[in-house]
């Protein structure tokens, strides 16, 4: 059975349109009309993903996203008429898995729901998780932990997603846009510039010498890759 989807949308017509298309695709759908109701519903009910409007009564979607992400790893897609780059970046920083602007195409929205649930491994079958070992670096996908010499490296959620994306394919060169799409789920070129900042922070946390990285290599003119032949297990 497919996981439930919570639609938090104060416009009845938009909520019904989303519900109709998700129902056709086999998803159980619940609807909340304001941010506070949506937050409480998500806390009480087992759901796989939240489709969350930004401009909501009582509590806006950014606040709901922030609070939900502090409490769980549930999928979150923000759906909003606000298309400014600053809003998209804020959504990413708050931990949203995708950001869709209105007006949207319902079938594309459903496809994005499927993609987020697939990445999170809650679309019927749990995704395979494992512990990867590269010399002194341990990446535990189930626990969402990265340890260097046995100590917690303190990586953020987005840093973890970037690292896992690259470590799952050592030696593969990723462009910045590919990393944005694969690690964050956002199909938006304006976020490419954030990848460099995340990589810099990652290197400070997992490299013995951030100026001479062993694990994350720069592919000049293209992007980044995780080094090969590091005795992965």
If one compares 40 and 89, the residue with the highest pLDDT of the two is 40
Per-residue model confidence (pLDDT) at position 124 = 44
Per-residue model confidence (pLDDT) at position 188 = 60
Buried b (16+ CB within 10 A) or exposed e, 74-92: bbbbbbbebeeeebbbbbb
The percent of residues above 70 in pLDDT, for the chain, comes to 92
If one compares 83 and 26, the residue with the highest pLDDT of the two is 26
Sheet-wide strand order for 98-101: 29-32, 5-8, 49-53, 75-80, 98-101
Per-residue model confidence (pLDDT) at position 118 = 82
How far is the C-alpha of 189 from the C-alpha of 148, rounded, in Å? 32
Task: Calculate the average pLDDT of the chain.
Answer: 87
User: Could you tell me the two tokens for 91?
Assistant: 């959504």
**Per-residue pLDDT at 131 exceeds 70:** yes
**Per-residue pLDDT at 223 exceeds 90:** yes
**Per-residue pLDDT at 84 exceeds 80:** no
Per-residue model confidence (pLDDT) at position 45 = 84
**Per-residue pLDDT at 126 exceeds 50:** no
- Structure pTM? 0.64
Tens of pLDDT, residues 24-51: 999 999 999 999 999 999 988 889 999 9
Tens of pLDDT, residues 168-217: 889 999 999 888 887 776 666 567 778 898 999 999 999 989 899 999 99
How far is the C-alpha of 95 from the C-alpha of 22, rounded, in Å? 23
């Amino acid at each position: 059975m497919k996981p439930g989807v919570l639609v938090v949308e104060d416009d009845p017509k938009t909520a019904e349109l989303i519900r109709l298309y998700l129902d056709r695709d086999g998803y159980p759908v619940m609807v909340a009309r304001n941010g506070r109701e949506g937050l409480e519903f998500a806390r009480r009910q087992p759901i796989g993903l939240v489709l969350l409007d930004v401009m909501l009564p009582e509590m806006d979607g950014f606040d709901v996203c922030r609070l939900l992400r502090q409490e769980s790893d549930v999928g979150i897609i923000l759906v909003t008429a606000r298309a400014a780059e600053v809003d998209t970046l804020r959504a990413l920083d708050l931990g949203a898995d995708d950001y869709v602007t209105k007006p949207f195409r319902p079938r594309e929205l459903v496809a994005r729901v499927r993609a987020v649930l697939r990445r999170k491994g809650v679309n019927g079958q749990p995704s395979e998780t494992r512990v990867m070992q590269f010399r002194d670096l341990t990446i535990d996908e189930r626990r969402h932990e990265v340890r260097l010499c046995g100590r917690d490296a303190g990586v953020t959620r987005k840093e973890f997603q970037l690292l896992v994306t690259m470590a799952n394919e050592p030696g593969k060169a990723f462009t910045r846009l590919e990393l944005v799409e694969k690690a964050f789920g956002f199909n938006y070129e304006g976020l490419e510039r954030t990848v460099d900042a995340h990589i810099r922070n990652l290197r400070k946390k997992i490299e013995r010498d951030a100026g001479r990285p062993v694990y994350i290599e720069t592919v000049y003119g293209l992007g980044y890759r995780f080094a090969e032949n590091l005795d992965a297990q």
